[in-house]
Amino acid sequence: MVALPPRVVVAAPSSGSGKTTVATGLLGALAGRGTAVAPFKVGPDYVDPGYHALAAGRPGRNLDPVLVDPATLPGLVVHGARDAELAVVEGVMGLFDGRIGRDPDPGGAGSAGSAALADGAGSAGFAALADGAGSAGFAALADGSTAHVARLLEAPVVLVVDARGQSRSVAALLAGFRGFDPGLFLGGVILNRVGSHRHEEVLRSACAEVGLPVLGVLPRHAELAVPSRHLGLVTAAEHGRAARAAVDAMAGLVAEHVDLDAVTALARSAPPTPATSWDPDTAVGEPVPGAPVVAVAGGAAFTFGYPEHAELLAAGGARVVTVDPAHDEALPAGTVGLVLPGGFPEEHAAALSANAPLREAVHAFAASGAPVHAECGGLLYLARSLDGAPMCGVLDADAAMGPRLALGYRTATAVADSPLAAAGETVTGHEFHRTVTTPRAGTAPAWRWDGDEPEGFVAGGVHASYLHTHPAGRPAGVARWLRHVAGARR
């Protein structure tokens, strides 16, 4: 057991308040002055962690108590913050927004967090908290919210408030957010998009009325806009040098207008909560022999993945090699397993289609019965076509942009045995796309989702679906897949 590192959660009343600018800016500004800082993102978001990684110089990781056992999250923080001096956690949506449509866990989803918060653990801020474990506010929390994660980590919260169009009313907003859950420690506020010096004075006075310290004041700015598309921001890998410039601009803005010493002090006020570091070796179990080569698609088209996946594959005995389907014309030498993660292949369909040698290699590889794990964007790449552009033709399906965004957590049950899951196994995953496949499912579907709807394709060694899962949430699935890889190698 070790202690969780100093940590702070960057939250907001709602989406669009400036969390990503502040969190990325904090990471970059702290790293710029020599602080080793570890980045985390609440929820299943794949885009923000890419910008976090650029800012911090280490992988951005996700903390999702819906996809991963909540009791595992503190260990994931310890693992991701190895050798770091503090952790910055960016929230998702509004502070109390999370999974809907199911009963929440009023006890903190099995963590010791809510019980431990009440004792104060040596911090004036935490010592002032009410017990709150049975409060109506916490009982109403949705699973997977930023508040849920903050409680699991016993972390102080900084609220980023978009101050446009309000002055003293910000006091009422802050009072409401602070009082809604007595077991959550709201440690300060960063005011964003402040219009003038006079506006700042009034806002500071309002914050003083409710006793919340102002940790920073960011003026209105337009130069930090990052290009977006149908699923959110353009990924850092696609944005290239412009992404680096955007991260540097965020870091400069925060360094100039936020009290970094105060934020650091707040992070250090978090109690030294004991936790066992998540260990991929332990999680995946006995490694397979022979170091089989597993190719994982990367490059600009396939950026939706969790770093823990590659860590589990490597711990399970595989030699993990990246392949870029837009440029590489062959699978890595000796490949016996292929992972095609999500991303934006719809934005790179022309380049993927033009690389006929690799498309043909993937088709032949899948036809051989070798294990292929494709999620979302990987599913599109395996289809016959994507928006009319020829793809690998592994699946008897065509993909195209659809009329609306499909987004949300899903409970799925495996329909057929596959290298990834045994028939009847139930998992929790996440759907995030604006494409559709025709048909939606193959003769042997991958899953039956909420409402018993079939989805995805199982054929030979191929498992292809729109469902994203977090490998740290089901490492047994990675171990199962690797056993099939080892079998294919033999």
Q: Are 185 and 125 in contact (CB under 8 A)?
A: yes
Burial grade of 197 (CB within 10 A; 0-12, 13-18, 19 or more): exposed
Which one of 247, 275, 303 terminates a domain? 275
| CATH number, domain with residue 469 | 3.40.50.880
| Per-residue pLDDT, 97 | 93
Regarding whether 340 and 262 lie in a shared domain, the answer is no
Distance CA 144, CA 41 (A): 11
Are 59 and 163 in the same domain?
A: yes
pLDDT digits (tens, 9 = 90+) for 238-284: 667 888 888 999 999 999 999 999 999 999 999 999 999 999 999 99
The predicted-structure confidence for 87-102, as pLDDT tens digits, reads as follows 999 999 999 998 875 4
Distance, in Å, from the CA atom of 21 to the CA atom of 243, rounded to the nearest integer, reads: 12
CA distance 181 to 96: 9
Co-location of 166 and 196 in the same domain: yes
pLDDT digits (tens, 9 = 90+) for 175-213: 999 999 988 999 999 999 999 999 999 999 999 999 999
Q: How crowded is residue 459: how many other Cβ atoms within 10 Å of its Cβ?
A: 21
DSSP E strand boundaries for 105-222 = 157-162, 186-194, 214-219
pLDDT at 122: 33
- Whether residue 472 sits in one domain with residue 329: yes
Q: Which residues are catalytic?
A: 376
Residues 405-411: contacts with CB within 8 Å, 24+ apart?
A: 405/230, 405/231, 405/433, 405/434, 406/431, 406/432, 406/433, 406/434, 406/466, 407/431, 407/432, 409/66, 409/67, 409/99, 409/144, 410/449, 410/450, 410/467, 411/449, 411/450
Residues 297 and 261 in one domain: no
Q: Give the HSE-up count for residue 408: Cα atoms under 13 Å, Cβ half-sphere.
A: 12
8-state DSSP, 404: E
* Closest C-alpha to 6, from 93, 123, 115: 123
Domain boundary among 232, 259, 275: 275
Q: Give pairs for 201-207: CB < 8 Å, separation 24+.
A: 202/167, 202/168, 203/163, 203/167, 203/170, 205/168, 206/167, 206/168, 206/169, 206/170, 206/171, 206/174, 207/170, 207/171, 207/174
Q: Do residues 176 and 303 both lie within one domain? A: no
Residue 314, both tokens:
């490597």
Cβ atoms of residues 417 and 460 within 8 Å: no
Number of domains in the chain: 2
Q: Residue 146 is encoded by which pair of tokens?
A: 């930023």
Put simply, whether the predicted model's pTM sits higher than 0.75 gets the answer yes
3-state helix, strand, coil in the chain (%, to 5): 35, 25, 40
> Please, which residues have CB within 8 angstroms of residue 270's CB and are 6 or more apart in sequence?
4, 6, 7, 8, 123, 126, 153, 154, 155, 156
C-alpha–C-alpha distance, residues 17 and 94, integer Å: 9
**How many whole angstroms separate alpha carbon 107 and alpha carbon 113?**
9
The reply to whether 243 and 303 lie within a common domain is no
Q: What is the CATH number of the domain that holds 161?
A: 3.40.50.300
Distances in whole angstroms, Cα of residue 329 to Cα of each of 142, 228, 347, 357: 46, 30, 19, 5
Same domain, 431 and 321: yes
Which of 223, 255, 275 is a domain's end point? 275
Same domain for 357 and 385, yes or no, is yes
* The one-letter amino acid at 481: W
The CA R_g of the chain, rounded to the nearest whole Å, is: 23
Q: Look up the domain containing 94 and give its range.
A: 2-275
Residues 166 and 183 placed together within one structural domain of the fold: yes
Neighbours of 251 (CB within 10 A): 22
Question: Is the CA virtual torsion 251, 252, 254, 260 positive or negative?
Answer: positive
Quick: pLDDT tens for 119-151: 233 334 544 443 333 333 433 445 899 999 999
Instruction: Annotate 222-245 with DSSP letters as a single string.
Output: STT---EETTEEPPHHHHTHHHHH
List the pLDDT tens digit at each of the 490 positions of the chain.
999 999 999 999 999 999 999 999 999 999 999 999 999 999 998 888 999 999 999 999 999 999 999 999 999 999 999 999 999 999 999 999 988 754 433 333 333 332 222 223 333 454 444 333 333 343 344 589 999 999 999 999 999 999 999 999 999 999 999 999 988 999 999 999 999 999 999 999 999 999 999 999 999 875 565 655 454 456 666 667 888 888 999 999 999 999 999 999 999 999 999 999 999 999 999 999 999 999 999 999 999 999 999 999 999 999 999 999 999 999 999 999 999 999 999 999 999 999 999 999 999 999 999 999 999 999 999 999 999 999 999 999 999 999 998 889 999 999 999 999 999 999 999 999 999 999 999 999 999 987 788 999 999 999 999 999 999 999 999 999 999 999 987 6
Same domain, 268 and 381: no
Could you tell me the two tokens for 412?
Answer: 């799925």
249 and 285, same domain (yes or no):
no
